[in-house]
Amino acid sequence: MNQLNLLKQFSIVVADTSDIESICKYKPQDATTNPSLILQAVSLNKNKRFIDQAVQYANKKGGLYKDKIVNASDKILVDIGVEILKYIPGYISSEVDARLSFSTEKCILKAQKIIKLYEEQGIPRNRVLIKLASTWECIKASEELQKDDIFCNLTLLFSFAQARACAESNVFLISPFVGRIYDWYVSQNLLSTSSFEKDPGVLSVCKIYDYYKKYNYKTIIMGASFRNINQILHLSGCDRLTISPNLLKELESNTKKIKRKLIPPNVHYIPPIALSEEEFRWEHNQDAMAVEKLSEGIRNFGRDQLYLEQILAKKI
């Protein structure tokens, strides 16, 4: 049995891609997308129909020019998600515009709009996860959206304060970014070992996993943003792992035995008092890596959203 199939015995495997061929090949339970992956998808000739459909939809909806561009980009996001859902049994994660990451109200409105677009195509809301950056505002938006049975995937998660706040707000799922944490430590020359047991990205997820299971939080942990299969294998047993096609291929081609690394404790404890907004911002601010990578991630996703809108603007 190859490592991919072995890994599926310990963790739910999720495909981190918008590529249908990869999803069909590796048969993940769920799939995640982000503005960068959506941009990649619509840049391929085989996916030009999504642009045409979105432009037709936006023109039919009418409104101001800027409204048409927004409506077209939302339509592409959902249409690609609908297509992916044909090939997976679980969730599709669709991301809210990163430029809204500091407005709880705007994130709620955008999430509701995305869910409505899915439901108009016959997709129930219980198959969609709304992706939001792990800012305080987005965490609070997720808390409100759950009251309407809209569940969220809090992404760009780098600090323990973010993980705590998500659990304390009963967020459905979090995506701690293993590889980007690792990248930061490499860029700062702060890694003195190549041991994956001491990989800061891996250690971050291990700490979150142990904490969540110790206090019996129900928030799902989905390790994300991997640089190599060793990072993945050292997190076998994590609730979910979202993996890019190149690493899925490497896991499939390797038959070396693997063991479960993360195992939940049998004893649960009473959770601590929830962080206040002030405490959250202070604790998160103490982690230079997390502050830098969260800001960078929001900027980059916002940039790719803008590139997508520029492509659409030429068609509308």
In the chain, the amino acid numbered 230 is N
Contact 216, 222 (CB under 8 A): no
Give residue 202's Cα distance to chain centre: 17
Q: Give the pLDDT score at 80.
A: 96
Could you confirm whether 116 is annotated as catalytic?
no
HEC string of 241-303 equals EEECHHHHHHHHCCCCCCCCCCCCCCCCCCCCCCCCHHHHHHHHHCCHHHHHHHHHHHHHHHH
Q: Report the distance separating Cα 225 and Cα 240, nearest Å.
A: 12
Q: Extract the tokens encoding 153.
A: 């995937």
Going through 33-115 in order, the beta strands assigned E by DSSP cover: 92-95
pLDDT along the chain (316 residues), means of 10: 97 96 96 94 90 96 96 97 97 98 98 98 98 98 98 98 98 98 93 77 98 98 97 98 98 97 96 98 98 98 96 94
Contact 211, 259 (CB under 8 A): no
What letter represents residue 207's amino acid?
Answer: K
Torsion of CA 100, 103, 108, 113, to 10 degrees: -30
Question: What is the pLDDT at residue 197?
Answer: 72
Give the dihedral sign, CA 179/184/187/190. negative
**pLDDT score at 195:** 66
State the Cα–Cα distance between residues 101 and 120, nearest whole angstrom: 26
The predicted structure's pLDDT at residue 254: 97
pTM: 0.96
At residue 31, φ and ψ (nearest 5 deg) are -145, 145
- CB atoms closer than 10 angstroms to residue 59: 14
pLDDT at 194: 67
Q: Which residues, including other chains, have CB under 8 Å from residue 149's CB and lie 6 or more apart?
A: 125, 126
Domains of the chain: 3-313 (3.20.20.70)
Q: What DSSP state is assigned to residue 177? A: B
75, 131, 213, 293: which is the annotated catalytic residue? Answer: 131
**Cα–Cα distance between 75 and 87 in angstroms, integer?**
19
